[in-house]
Chains A and B, each alone.
Chain A
Amino acid sequence: MSTVAARSTPRTSVEARERRRARMTKLIPWVSTLLSIVLLVIIWKLVIAIFDVSPFVLPQPEDVLKGVKELVNSDGFWTDVRVTLTETLVGFAIALALGIILGTILGRIVWLEQAARPVIVASQVVPKVALIPLFIIWFGFGMTSKIIIVALLAFFPILLNVILGVRSVDSGHRDVMRSLNASRWQTFRRLEYPSTLPYILAGMEVGIVFAVVGAIVGEYLGGDQGLGYRIVTSLNNLQAETLFAVILVLTLFGFLLYLAVVALKRFLIPWHDSTIDSTRAST
C-alpha cells in the first residue's frame, strides 16, 4: 500500500501542474485579445493627438463607442441586421448544399471532374465581386441578388474542399470495410461520411467569411437596407463615427458567425487534429 501511495503522490502533483499549465495556455488568447484592444486604442488616441487628425477622418474611440450606441438604438437597425443575416445564412445554406452535392459527385467521378475543371477554374478566377452590379440588374435591389452573390462566393471553397475530402478517404480504411463485407450504405455511413466531414467544415470555415463579405458588398453596391447599406448612408452623410460603428458591428457579426462554424466543428469532429488543443496534441 505504502509504495502505491508513495508513487501516486508525486504523480498527482505533476498532473496538477500540467492541468494548471493547460488552463493557463487556454487563457492566453483571451489575455492577448484584451491587450491588443487596449494597445489599439492607445495608438489610435496617440495618432489623433500627435498628427491632429480631423474627427471627420478619424473620430475618437469614445465617439465611435457612442456611435455604436446610437446605431444600435437607431430606427431600423435590427431590421438591417436581420436582412444581412438572412442574406448571409440563406446564401450560405445554398452554397453548402450545392457544394456538398456537386463536390461528392465530382469527387467520385474523375472524368467528370476533369471535364468540369476548366469551368471551375474559370469561375474561380472571375473576380466575383465584379459580377455584383450584373446580379443587381438581373435580380433587383432586394434580397435575392445578395443571396445569389453570397451563395456564389461561399460555394467555391466548400466545393473544392468536398472534392478533396471525398478523394482522400484512406484506402487502408476501405480495405478494412471491404474485409468486413460492409454494405454500400455502411461504408458511406461509417467511413466516407466521417472522413469527409473535416473537409466540409474546413470549407465552411472559409465559406462563412466569404459569405459575409458577399452580403455586405452586395448591399453596399445596390441595396436599400442591410448593414452594408448603412455604410453607404453614413459615408454620404460624412458621419465618420457611424461608419466606424458599422464596421465594428460588422466585425462582431462576422466573428459570431465564424465562431458558430468553429463550435459546430468542435461538436462534430472532436477527434480531428484541427480541433485538438495544442496542449493535448503534444502528448
Chain B
Amino acid sequence: MSNDGASDVRATSGGGTRVLEAEEPRVQREHPHVSGALPDGEAEIELHGISKRFTTRTRDTLALTNIDLGIRKQEFVTLLGQSGCGKTTLLRILAGLIHPTEGEVTIAGRPLWRGDHRDDEALRKLGIVFQDAHLFPWFTVEDNIALPLKLRKVDKAERRRRSHELAELVGLQGFEKALPRELSGGMRQRVAIARALSYRPEILLMDEPFGALDAMTRDKMNMELQRIAEATSATVVFVTHSIAEAVFLADRVVLLSARPGRIRSITTVDARHPRSLDITAQTNFQEKVLELRRQLTEDEERIARQGGVSE
C-alpha cells in the first residue's frame, strides 16, 4: 500500500478498479472526518461509527464509512447526497433493514441490534416510508393503513377508528374503502405515510418519499409533511437528492459524500416550522442552497479526477 495516495491515484487513473484499502487514507487526508455526534444525552437516535461494506463476487464496495450522527427528539434531519453516496443505505441501517458492518445504532438509548436480532421496542419507535408506496394491492386504503396494527394484534374496532383518524390526518377521508390502484401517486404516498404513522412511532424515516411525484405535488406534500410532523411530534429523518427540498424541510442538512459514503458537512437551518414556500426566495436560504451545491460539485469533480463516474 502506498502512503502517498495522490500519486497512487494518478498512476492508476483510468485503469479501472482500484483497491479500496489504498483509497481510505487519502480520503481521510483530503476530507477530515466530520462528526455529527451530539453531546451525551441529547440524542434520540445515535449512529456510532457506522460502516457498511457490500461484498459480491466481483466487487467490494465500501458504501459507508465511519458515520457518527446524533438526532434530537422532534428534529427534522435531511440526508442529502447524489445517487450512490449511501444515503439510502444509511436510512436502511437506521430502519433495521440491514445490519451495519461496523458500528452501533441506538434508538432512545436502546441498541437496535442484539446480535442478529432486532430489538422490538426500538423497532416500534420507527415508522418507515419508502420511495414507492409499496401498498398491498389486495387491501383497501383502510386495511393498508391498519396493517401494522393488525400485525400487532390490535382489535378490529380500534384499527378502524385509528385508520379513519389517520386518513383524515393525511387528507384522504372518504377514500377508506378504495383500493390502491384507484389512487393517484400522491394519494398512495399519503396512504404510505398514514400506514407508517399508524402505531404512533416517535421517529419517521423517509427514503425519498416524494421522489416519484411531479414537482407541484411534491411541493404540496412537503407542506403537508411539515404539518403532519408537527401534529404527531415525530422526529423525521428524510433522504433526498434535491438540495432545495433538503434545505426547505430540515433543521439540519447532513450532506453525504460518495466513495466511500461519509458525512461531508452539516448545515443548520434556523427558520421555524411550518415554513412556507416563500422562504425559498430569501437570501439566507439561497446562500445555503448554493453552498451545498458548491460542495456537491466539488465532490463530483473529485470523483471524476479519481477516474470514476459519479453514478
Contact = CB atoms under 8 A, between A and B. Distances in A.
B90 to A, nearest CB: 15
A181 B123 CA distance: 8
A190 B136 contact: yes
Contacts of A273: 181
A276 B137 CA distance: 13
Contact of B148 (A178, A180, A272, A276): A180
Contacts of B96: 179
Given A180-B147, A190-B147, A190-B151, A272 B137 contact: yes
Interface of A: 170, 172-173, 175-182, 186, 190-191, 194, 269, 271-273, 276, 283
A56 B139 CA distance: 58
A267 B211 CA distance: 36
A180 B95 contact: no
A173 B136 contact: yes
Given A179-B128, A181-B120, A170 B134 contact: yes
A276 B123 CA distance: 37
B8 interface: no
A175 B128 CA distance: 10
Given A175-B130, A179-B96, A273-B181, A191 B136 contact: yes
Interface of B: 95-97, 118, 120, 123-124, 126, 128, 130, 132, 134, 136-139, 147-148, 150-151, 179, 181-182
A182 B134 contact: no
Contact of B151 (A170, A186, A269): A186
A179 B97 contact: yes
A283 B138 contact: no
Given A179-B126, A180-B123, A186-B151, 12 more contacts: A172-B132, A173-B134, A176-B128, A176-B134, A179-B97, A180-B147, A181-B118, A181-B120, A190-B147, A191-B136, A271-B138, A271-B139
B78 to A, nearest CB: 20
A177 B139 CA distance: 14
A194 B136 contact: yes
A283 B120 CA distance: 41
Contacts of B95: 179
